[in-house]
Chain A
């Protein structure tokens, strides 16, 4: 990339004796506590960031387990009651031939959450050890995680729409199962975990590597 050479010349705010506001990009002397423009708390590097990332990550993972064990939907058709889990529901859809939708559900509720758990853990570990990918790749990973995490909520919304809509007295009805509750919590906690991550640490790890060479 044509700009790869600029990284050597880059001056970080910390190196210049400044602290940056991550909300409004204003620079302040390093001892400043609160941004005078937008009122955000100023920290040059959030040392406790990783602790919060891991704590929220663990809660998210703990919620993800019951989300897959308990049923997500209870479908009542005449006298027959079906309870389906997330994966079970997707498999049923594939049986009916709705492969596209089965794929969306599987991607949104299995691939994305698991990928997110892996990616956050990888970032948190690699920032500490300084090994792994180059900063650009790690940053890309961080941005993808931040952007895509919200889309896992789609399953909750599908359950909400189905349960509200399919209420045909005696004929068919759909009610949400306990998994919906845990799944929503899992998505919220992983989103918070990703938000707690301080991306500036990605670049510090890289800068330390450059100095060591």
Chain B
């Protein structure tokens, strides 16, 4: 992969049209916009933040992954996830059961937060991503409120915690292992695939390209 370092051009910053500039959100350095080719990255010369990282067919790939993730989230929340048995007694739970386990008094808040972090936030992010990107990929004008939708999706990014939940499962399994026999349900494997897909998708998405195509729908 080739890196393109953005270089400041002082004489142009004050005169050229503002549309031709890009400002690093981390360190406020201003650059003359140079669009990298597919597979290249434009990186801030001062703080090394990746500013633009376009990929060929990224839109279609992201939509495909999003569809897969939506199906997996719904399936993984409903089917049994883990089951446990000891001395003839057994219990099977789904992810939704695990999330909604805190149900007494103030714990209810915690239940809603947990369910949100591991199911609803990732699900909503995927739906919003599809809503924003499908018209863009089809060269149509952006969907209504697409800008608001993408903004919401970006704001929710740190609160989408599926991968953390996955590591939590591993820890919980070891804790229970000497107490009882644990077996995996179908949802366990679905959730594993889902975590990988979510991480892959995060790498594909170039925020700048999305904002740019929402601003200039035709000139992709």
Contact = CB atoms under 8 A, between A and B. Distances in A.
Contact of A39 (B26, B110, B148, B182): B148
A25 B208 contact: yes
A24 B171 contact: no
A6 B9 CA distance: 11
A30 to B, nearest CB: 11
B158 A191 contact: yes
Interface of B: 5, 7-8, 10, 13-14, 18-19, 21-30, 45-48, 51, 82, 84, 86-87, 89-91, 93, 97-102, 106-107, 109-110, 113-114, 117-118, 147-148, 150-151, 154, 158, 161, 164-165, 167-169, 171-172, 174-176, 178-180, 182, 207-208, 211, 214-215
Interface of A: 3, 6-7, 9-14, 16-18, 20-29, 37-40, 77, 93, 96, 98, 100-101, 104-105, 135-136, 139, 146, 150-151, 153-158, 160-172, 176, 180-181, 184, 188, 191, 195, 199-200, 202-204
Contacts of A104: 167, 171
A11 B118 contact: no
A176 B99 CA distance: 12
Contacts of B23: 13, 18, 20-21, 25-27
11 contacts: A10-B45, A18-B13, A20-B24, A25-B22, A158-B172, A160-B102, A161-B82, A161-B172, A165-B176, A171-B87, A199-B26
Contacts of B28: 12-14, 20, 200, 203-204
Contacts of A158: 168, 171-172, 175
Given A18-B18, A171-B87, A11 B30 contact: yes
Contact of B21 (A27, A156, A162, A172): A27
Contacts of A188: 113
B114 A37 contact: no
B211 A37 contact: yes
B98 A165 contact: yes
B177 to A, nearest CB: 9
Given A12-B29, A18-B21, A153 B84 contact: no
